[in-house]
Structure 1
Amino acid sequence: MGLKNDLVVYTRLECESCEEMTCCIEKAKEEGADLVELCIDDFTFSDISQLELLLKQRSLPSIVSFRSKSPINSEGKKTCIQVLKLAVELDVEFVEVDTEVVCHEVVAELMKSRSNSKIIASTYVNGGNPTKETLCNSIINLQSTGADIIKLVIDVAYITDVAPVFHMLTHSQVPLIVRAQGDRGLISQLLGPKYGAFFVCGSLGGKYTPGLPSLTTIKQVYKLQYVNPDTRIFGVISNPVGHSKGPLLHNPAFRHTGYNGIYVPLLVDNVKEFFRVFSCNDYAGFSVGIPHKEAAVRCCDEVDPLAKSIGAVNTIIRRPSDGKLIGYNTDCEACVTAIEDALRERQKTNGHASNVSPIAGKLFVLVGAGGAGRAIAFGAKSRGARVVIFNRKYERAKALAAAVSCDALPYEHLNDFCPEKGMILANASAVGMQPKSDQTPISKEALRSYELVFDAVYTPRNTRLLQEATEVGATVVSGVEMFVRQALGQFKLFTNGLAPVDFMRRIVYEQF
């Protein structure tokens, strides 16, 4: 079995029986894997002939590996060597030798006896915060085995720990496979091909592995086979970031417009440190999400006047001419225009139409005083709304109210706040976001006072808040509408004007 692609997408199979392994190989094949790593250390067999049968009958090219998760005894080493020798005898495409389990002499013996198999020498670098020096030393040690390919599996504590990995990929003199473990290591796989990686690991459907994209997203969303050294990097900086739908929208839009870019999730703990480490022009633009929208302002060299007045950015562009970071806010107009359009549609239905903003003069109740809340507060105020802010941390609500010149009230008063009918409610908090989608910021009974209810949360698309608002007769606006509008604004900034509006809208409403 041969490999036809320059970029090989593989998945690790940790199974306990021949039947389970065979089933998983077929599933990996269906999901687009080019190759499977058969992790024999988890495999239970009473006789080596069972493993031999599996290796002969497999339907995909394979790596056979044996990595012990705990200190291994002499009997375990003997089994490991027996497995690796069998794989070489059967001409398995790749045979991986864990240098922490067996000595370099075993690698030399396998190299000498192999016919067509490629030998991979691997090691595990634990402890987090790997330095270039640590990785270089590991690579030198692996190279000394004489193996065809070397492989590093690395623990990372922060996303910035992945930067040395990209350096190693670019400068390694020997074919190198690298995998950074944990959620913050995800970009080691998604961006690896830009730096020369020829193997990318994905997880099998239904078997989530931190730090690994799924096989289906590699093939269908990111299409990593098209990533090359000239690909420009974009992403969403957030914590958490797993809920973001940005990659599902921006990556197809890049391909639709013929733009050589990739958009990835970036799980960032310290936004200032992130920009310090990933400072080259290849990192061209970013969406900014929870909780970094305000802190990111301080990371920018220049800030658009609207974003500056709001005090929060949701988009950052690295200017190619000088590498400076320029901050923008596309949340503000996205939210306000979505609410205005919904109210205008309601007015048309009732036979009323006006060129004045339908928000003007309305009592606008805002829940949440974070980055999105700031954008919405400034936007509503600019349209002439009477804004009242509620936030779990009352001091934060008062600070935003002072900045916007409006009122703030304690969060516990929200359900009882009803000075008039026909108000507008905007939820800019994370209440109701998956996985806590059973929550809502306000009682259903209190919603009867509102003409329109907007929820910035878009996972799930139809939140409990919106469901209950619909049930009491309010007009509802989903966070998905705000998402697509702000994303269109971002995409124009990312690509200097390109934005396939109809295409991006169709993706959002068909897939989200």
Structure 2
Amino acid sequence: MVITGTVGKVGLIGHPVGHSKSPEIWNDAFENQEIPYIYLPFDVSTGDLGSAVSGLKSLGFRGFNVTIPHKVSVMNFLDEIEEEAVEIGAVNTVINDGGRLIGTNTDGEGYIQSLQSETGLTLAGQHIVLLGAGGAARAVGTALAKAGAAQITIANRTMDKAEALASRLQRWTRTNAILLEQIASPLQDASLLVQTTSVGMSPNKEACPIDPELLHSDLLVSDLIYHPRQTRLLKEAKIRGARVHSGLGMLVHQAALAYQRWIGKDAPIKQMMETLDQSLKNE
């Protein structure tokens, strides 16, 4: 594609963003569908967030994705927050609608689409243990609760954040908040373990968020990390006979939902998945 002044612009803001695979996925999809758009990543420090949001608007960006650590604080600089993002308490996608910046969140729905399409799991009635209580946990936890989970136990390093998320999810399901070291008993009775923290992410590939001996064959273990493709947690789960689900699908499905909002077309999900998979294999 020839870059001219008429090329549409979307992008990503976060800190850091150098590791992100999103530019490869998006730009390959644009080329595949012959859409005159470009996707650009921007490393934005916390103190520069407001200026960056204003700058992207002034430069005519159609929208942008938001990643760590800005998913909550970016809400202060937007004109409107959609209900899904309000419920989650975080924004991962911003749409520029004629100069009005609208925040939404595609993480939860993208995760559910990935989990169900890849595992066939029926979420109604599941007993779930959620590792972590940050922005990703809020998005995924909200989606799981609204999908009919029977109970969600939030295990976190600090109790205050676990309790805050448990309180937020109580409107849809039964919840419980525990410290990470108290996970043994709830995990024994769980059917789904969802890992939302950064523990095990490259380059710290040998790190595991819990004692692997606590994993069992009645679990489906889902790790939101996609780099590496198979975390140590997933490897340990497979050794013990558990089913596993990686974070590759969530990254693609949440991106596809943003793609539709920005471009007005269905994203080439299969191709985006292949692009991501090949990129990780080449590292």
TM-score by length of 1: 0.51
Deviations 1:322-349 (A, max 9, x none): x11111111111212322334427xxxx
Partner of 2:124: 360
What's the CA shift for 1:296?
A: 2.0
Partner of 2:167: 402
Partner of 1:318: 96
Task: Show structure 2 runs of 5+ residues with no match.
Answer: none
What's the CA shift for 1:260?
A: 1.8
**3-state SS of 1:417 partner:** helix
Partner of 1:327: 103
Q: What is the alpha-carbon distance in structure 1 between the residues aligned to residue 146 and residue 266 of structure 2?
A: 28
Partner of 1:82: none
CA contact (8 A) 1:423 1:449 kept: no
What's the CA shift for 1:280?
A: 1.4
Partner of 1:284: 62
Q: What is the alpha-carbon distance in structure 2 between the residues aligned to residue 510 and residue 315 of structure 1?
A: 25
Tell whether 2:72 aligns with 1:294: yes
Q: What is the alpha-carbon distance in structure 2 between the residues aligned to residue 443 and residue 342 of structure 1?
A: 26
Partner of 1:379: 143
What's the CA shift for 1:253?
A: 1.0
Q: Mark the structure with the bigger radius of gyration.
A: 1
377 and 261 in structure 1: CA distance in 2 versus 1, 3 angstrom threshold: same
- In the TM superposition, what are the counterparts of 1:214-293 in structure 2 within 5 Å? 226-270=2-46, 271-293=49-71
Deviations 1:452-502 (A, max 9, x none): 011111111111111111111111111001111111111112212242233
**3-state SS of 1:466 partner:** helix
What's the CA shift for 1:251?
A: 0.5
Partner of 2:227: 459
User: Between Structure 1 and Structure 2, how many residues are aligned?
Assistant: 273
> What amino acid does structure 1 have at the position aligned with 2:158?
K
CA contact (8 A) 1:235 1:285 kept: yes
Task: Show structure 1 runs of 5+ residues with no match.
Answer: 1-222, 346-357
Partner of 1:440: 208
> What amino acid does structure 2 have at the position aligned with 1:272?
G
Identity of aligned residues (%): 36
Q: What is the alpha-carbon distance in structure 2 between the residues aligned to residue 366 and residue 433 of structure 1?
A: 17
Partner of 1:430: 198
273 and 396 in structure 1: CA distance in 2 versus 1, 3 angstrom threshold: farther
What's the CA shift for 1:377?
A: 0.6
CA contact (8 A) 1:286 1:317 kept: yes
Q: What is the alpha-carbon distance in structure 2 between the residues aligned to residue 500 and residue 423 of structure 1?
A: 32
Q: What is the alpha-carbon distance in structure 2 between the residues aligned to residue 499 and residue 488 of structure 1?
A: 5
384 and 400 in structure 1: CA distance in 2 versus 1, 3 angstrom threshold: same
What's the CA shift for 1:435?
A: 1.7
CA contact (8 A) 2:212 2:236 kept: yes
Q: What is the alpha-carbon distance in structure 1 between the residues aligned to residue 248 and residue 223 of structure 2?
A: 9
- Of 143, 154, 158, which aligns to 1:393? 158
Q: What is the alpha-carbon distance in structure 1 between the residues aligned to residue 214 and residue 163 of structure 2?
A: 23
- In the TM superposition, what are the counterparts of 1:78-89 in structure 2 within 5 Å? none
Q: What is the alpha-carbon distance in structure 2 between the residues aligned to residue 398 and residue 303 of structure 1?
A: 24
- In the TM superposition, what are the counterparts of 1:4-19 in structure 2 within 5 Å? none
What's the CA shift for 1:371?
A: 1.4
- Of 240, 249, 255, which aligns to 1:487? 255
What's the CA shift for 1:450?
A: 4.9
> What amino acid does structure 1 have at the position aligned with 2:37?
G
CA contact (8 A) 1:336 1:379 kept: yes
CA contact (8 A) 2:153 2:186 kept: no
Q: What is the alpha-carbon distance in structure 2 between the residues aligned to residue 418 and residue 454 of structure 1?
A: 16
What's the CA shift for 1:278?
A: 3.2
Partner of 1:308: 86
> What amino acid does structure 2 have at the position aligned with 1:411?
L
**3-state SS of 2:124 partner:** coil
What's the CA shift for 1:420?
A: 4.2
407 and 254 in structure 1: CA distance in 2 versus 1, 3 angstrom threshold: same
- The runs of 4+ residues in structure 1 deviating greater than 6 Å are none
Q: What is the alpha-carbon distance in structure 1 between the residues aligned to residue 219 and residue 7 of structure 2?
A: 47
> What amino acid does structure 1 have at the position aligned with 2:210?
I
Q: What is the alpha-carbon distance in structure 1 between the residues aligned to residue 270 and residue 193 of structure 2?
A: 29
Partner of 1:472: 240
> What amino acid does structure 1 have at the position aligned with 2:84?
L
Partner of 1:94: none
What's the CA shift for 1:390?
A: 1.4
Q: What is the alpha-carbon distance in structure 1 between the residues aligned to residue 148 and residue 108 of structure 2?
A: 14
- In the TM superposition, what are the counterparts of 1:32-71 in structure 2 within 5 Å? none
